[in-house]
Structure 1
């Protein structure tokens, strides 16, 4: 990687090198286990000009998102998050029944179904054929396409400008930051609103969330770098919210630059936090690699010692982030017998690279393992409640990030490594 994809600078500095891994959502069918499996370098660097953190664009979005394994509606808390967002956005943007809402990367309609219920005209723009079909079956109008300036202009020409454009958890997934942002501007009305949710690089660094680095995520934003990215397409940041989702996200409220006005005090507050953390100089990134190495050592030590004691460890969840963790740590079925997932699409498949079987969630209660390693740690509150039954036989939950912690069975007391 020789140049920053946002500003073109050649001054890129290493943050952490995670080796080479397969694409995180390329789950394997049984008949693929004896076939070659591609792996690509996973090396995060930061631009010392605009401070956009990024990985090389070694895979194309079309390779990942044409057929996609992630369905948003399988997370109860995420669907509730979307419902609350829609209620708040309707009020903020003053959306009436004559409004038009577009969501980019609308997945299976988990968010727009709440817009449909309000009787507001909407459209999803979703590149994945399979999840887009699920959205249409749920009554959410959905266009199968990747967003580009041309796509945005075509949607605007056919449907009119959007009063609100939503882009949740997609702004990191596109290698052409400038073109995508221009597409957002093409969609939104000249007096409209754009809402973007994306993981916050501040919490990624502070909380050792390195497993959220994977090939689908081409870049990682601070508010400072997001301001510059938005400006590349004619948008200006007017407000920001700090969210707990995905371990710590930012919700960016932007408008066309011509009508944006002055940003809120919250924007200045978050910019000050980022600056205090050293994220606009190299000092904020230098210790991250060492802390990542400690997460790896602690998890492997726990798994090896459990195996030597004859104790069983299984996983819960098969998220993309989990595959970064499993591959970086070199975890195989001898240390993690299997993992389970609520998404039937993944049942009977195997995790990329590490070849760990993925089963239905009921397998945990049938086998009564000693430990359950929770891979989607960002859903900790939701999954601690869902998996409370594990305590019935003295089982314990294990969370690997931000540091290894074990929730003891009887007392629900947490033990940190």
Structure 2
């Protein structure tokens, strides 16, 4: 296999999680008696451009189909994050009724609805029918297509080049990252701005976040590598923000390479920090497998110990990251009888691979659970606040990443 960016031969394994079904391929009850597709979940690192990437195995349309069940609006903290971003960008860029905002992977309209509310023209690009329909119901125009260079050029030709192109947690999801980046350049006005948010590889490594690795994520990104990809496409990163979302993310600000905006010092500061932390050295990557195995074993030991003690354990959040953890650890309903989730699109379905049933959150109080494992640990505070009644009943909350811990 060759690197998706620089085409160097890939020989170094970062992490091997065996075989697993796609993490967002939730099952109906009728699916439980049918064969389930499993794919290898192995991650490689390129020793030339340091792009960390999954092994090739499937087409994107197998992952993001009409039944795709991730709806961004389920998380209140994420909605607040999107609102703050829209206010910030509207003010800083002077966006108005003559501007155009394009969001790539616009999901259910969680972000663009803020621009619509301020009469700023916008366009969502979203290939999954279920989430696109939700956005359209909010009055957001949506193109139900995958984004790339061809679509970017088409938009520019139609006079729909953007003042702002936003992409939140999509950059890691694209199989052809070079084509996608060239599309960003093609669809961007000469003075336009690109912002992309993605989980920071440095945080993934530091805090053992191996559960953020799943098939829908083709790439795991450092600022160093993204800067290389942008440069190859004729773009430049001039500003970066570090965000707490998803366990530690970057928001990069990009422009055309000839733009007169000066690079802010923070760009070089983060590049220097990445190098100091070893992200351009194989040593840190070769040590990661053993860290993931410790987490998996500790999680299993916790579940087995509670079962022996007669304690009731369930989970909250039918998140993709949870599916990675459950499937790598081999957890089934005998150790974790059910998972609760606030998203109606996931309720009454089953987790892929583990076949653990997904129930409404109310099931936690009815069952008098002793321990609730919060699978989306990145929103643990939000989950605990929303389920404060459980604490009063004596329920304790648990996370497994970066290490098993009773909160």
With normalisation by structure 1, the TM-score equals: 0.95
1:44 aligns with 2:43: yes
Q: Which moved more, 1:231-240 or 1:98-107?
A: 231-240
Q: What SS does structure 1 have at the residue aligned with 2:12?
A: strand
CA distance in 2, matches of 1:260, 1:70: 39
Specify the alignment match of 1:22 in structure 2.
21
Q: Which moved more, 1:151-160 or 1:63-72?
A: 151-160
Q: What SS does structure 1 have at the residue aligned with 2:79?
A: helix
Listed as ranges, the matches of 1:293-372 within 5 Å are 293-372=293-372
Do the aligned partners of 2:315 and 2:375 also contact (CA within 8 Å) in 1?
yes
CA distance in 2, matches of 1:322, 1:66: 20
What are the superposed Cα offsets for residues 120-170 of structure 1, whole Å, 9 maximum, x if unpaired? 010001111111011000111111111021111222233421000001100
Do the aligned partners of 2:10 and 2:44 also contact (CA within 8 Å) in 1?
no
With normalisation by structure 2, the TM-score equals: 0.98
Specify the alignment match of 1:176 in structure 2.
176
Residues 266 and 180 (structure 1 numbering): CA distance in 2 closer, same or farther, change over 3 Å? same
Do the aligned partners of 1:340 and 1:360 also contact (CA within 8 Å) in 2?
yes
Specify the alignment match of 1:203 in structure 2.
203
Do the aligned partners of 1:162 and 1:188 also contact (CA within 8 Å) in 2?
yes
CA distance in 1, matches of 2:360, 2:159: 41
What are the superposed Cα offsets for residues 379-412 of structure 1, whole Å, 9 maximum, x if unpaired? 12211211222112211001111111102xxxxx
Specify the alignment match of 2:393 in structure 1.
393
Q: 1:93 deviation in Å?
A: 2.1
CA distance in 1, matches of 2:274, 2:130: 39
1:189 aligns with 2:193: no
Q: 1:344 deviation in Å?
A: 1.0
CA distance in 2, matches of 1:383, 1:226: 32
Residues 11 and 61 (structure 1 numbering): CA distance in 2 closer, same or farther, change over 3 Å? closer
Listed as ranges, the matches of 1:87-126 within 5 Å are 87-126=87-126
CA distance in 2, matches of 1:377, 1:392: 21
Q: 1:66 deviation in Å?
A: 2.7
CA distance in 1, matches of 2:289, 2:260: 38
Q: 1:272 deviation in Å?
A: 1.1
Provide the aligned length of Structure 1 versus Structure 2: 406
Structure 2 spans left out of the alignment, 5+ residues: none
Q: 1:232 deviation in Å?
A: 2.7
Q: 1:89 deviation in Å?
A: 1.1
CA distance in 2, matches of 1:385, 1:396: 13
